[in-house]
Amino acid sequence: MQQANSLPYVQFRRRLYFVIVGLVTFSIYLLWEVASFQWLSPEVISYMDTLRNSNYTRTLELAAARGLIYDRHGEIMAVNTLEYEIGISPNLVTNARQTATALAPLIGRPELEVFELVTANRPWVSLARPVSAEVAQQITQLGLQGVTIDPIPRRSYPQGTLAAQVLGFVNLDLKGNYGVEGYYQDQMAGQIRDRRVSTIPFEVPQSGWEQHHGRDLILTIDRDIQFLAESQLLSAINSTGAQSGTIIIMNPRNGEVLAMANYPSYDPNTFYEVEDPNLLSNPAISSQYEPGSVMKVLTVAAALEKGTITPQWTYYDEAQINVGGVTVRNWDRAAHGNVDVTQVLVQSLNVGVATISTMMGPTDFYNMLDAFGIGRRTGIDLQGEASGTLYVPGDAHWSESNLATNSFGQGLAVTPIQMLTAINAIANGGLMMQPHVVREIRDGERVYVSQPAALGRPISAETARIVTDMMVTTVRDGLDQASVDGYTIAGKSGTAEIPSPVGYEPNAWIMSFVGFLPADDPQVSILIKLDRPTSGNWASQVAAPVFQQLAERLVILLEIPPDDIRHALAAQGGAVNAIPR
């Protein structure tokens, strides 16, 4: 009894009581925590799902099939193909070294680098993307554990380099860049969605990945004419020593671009190998240059439209004229005496057009250049168009001498598409049409047809007819190198110096020729532009023959009858005023 009531025994019982109470309380708490898993908060559930998914799943972007691109006759220009991404789940690999040795030569990576990825402490690792279907098939046949092969939509261009800068390209993120791929990105791209996919290679994938197909484009481009233009341009580059160049072929009636060729170009299938990013842009719409004497046609048309001169107007040419402290001289430094307005174009006289522009005055002159679209974008449906450069009174860079030099295409800048669009107003009876490269957009069964749009009417039909006749005389009497047997050609050449920060470069020119045919019923217009050619000093020697060679083949390809046959058919009531292609 004394032992039971001893002080140590009493203390022991008291302590035991507290221990028992503590254990019971802690047990109840643990039971409560276990039971509470049935009522997890949304935040906790989300966290647990994320934790689980990070180990067993990953996010894959799934894109709809991109819209296809066709030329005007249904020839395919851009299609969709599949490439593949090779990945691996390291925790499922049984022999890391053997796996790395087998994969390294197929994916083109060092074996040690692949081994480090195969043994990484991650649930899934990307080894290579994109790889071809052939490589993916070879990897599949190896039967390696842990390897995943995921399809990746890719863009393919069956025509190779043909019309590359018109088409643009689709990057590895499936986004269109440049050309119609960039301009119509939202139309052509399907909806991109994220999807969680398993990192376990033998898990059955879920179905239902197919998404809505993007819209298809039907271009105004004719594949055969495009090939002709590119071939002719390459031949011209080789024969003239030019560093680069552009050819545009259009229907002046509706603004359709039949061909748009540039040199140098690139292959959109391997855009990522292009070292010079400037090759990706389209010089036909983005490269600005001083047009030279081609601008004289617009100066004469503007003065006739404003009534500043008449078709019978003459002046006395003394070889030079001073405007705003700058002396303007003719290309041959010669005085030509009494000259009429047609001979101003035939002989390409700087003094003549400078005289005309100063007679017009800055207000009328620059209003007319604006009406022709000089200094502003045409709105062509291609990504990357430049606006050109035109200084007007009030601008910091404008001076009175610009009134003279602008009249013959110096001191201002245009793009090739801008220049041809302005000349097309003359070919189309004074109505200037907006250039475009897409003829139709097809969305399943629905078809949206491009409607020709007018940019304005800078000159009347009568003025257009008068200037056309002058351009015909210019080719007949001064530019026989551009003539085509059996066809009446209206055209004008231009030789322009190349500006630099310290004036104009010596012995360096941009040479161009712009023309249309048949002159009395224009069905096609052509711009030739060659940069820094070395085979001659004047566009009449260098660019005009290129026009001739191209036009001779083009009239056959487009089935445009010679003038005598057209006139005979017209006399019998035949329809001969439409491009048959």
Residue 170 and residue 181 in contact, taking contact as beta carbons nearer than 8 Å: yes
Spatial contact of 82 and 224, defined as CB atoms under 8 Å apart: no
- One DSSP character per residue, 24-73 reads HHHHHHHHHHHHHGGG--HHHHHHHHHHHHHHHEEEEEE-PPPPPEE-TT
Residue 157 is which amino acid? Answer: Y
List C-alpha distances in Å: 85 to 2, 150, 525. 85, 5, 47
Secondary element (H or E) of residue 150: strand 147-156
- b/e sequence 85-112, b meaning 16+ C-beta within 10 Å: bbbbbbebbeebeebbebbbebeeeeee
Spatial contact of 253 and 247, defined as CB atoms under 8 Å apart = no
Query: Terminal CA-to-CA distance of the chain, rounded, Å?
Result: 124
What sections of 241-294 are H helices per DSSP? 283-286
Q: Are 576 and 521 in contact (CB under 8 A)?
A: yes
The position carrying tokens 């402290």 is 325
**What is the bridge-based pairing of β-strands 69-70 and 216-219?**
parallel
Tokens standing for residue 176? 């269109």
Cβ contact 539:495 at 8 Å? yes
Active-site residues, by number, are: 293
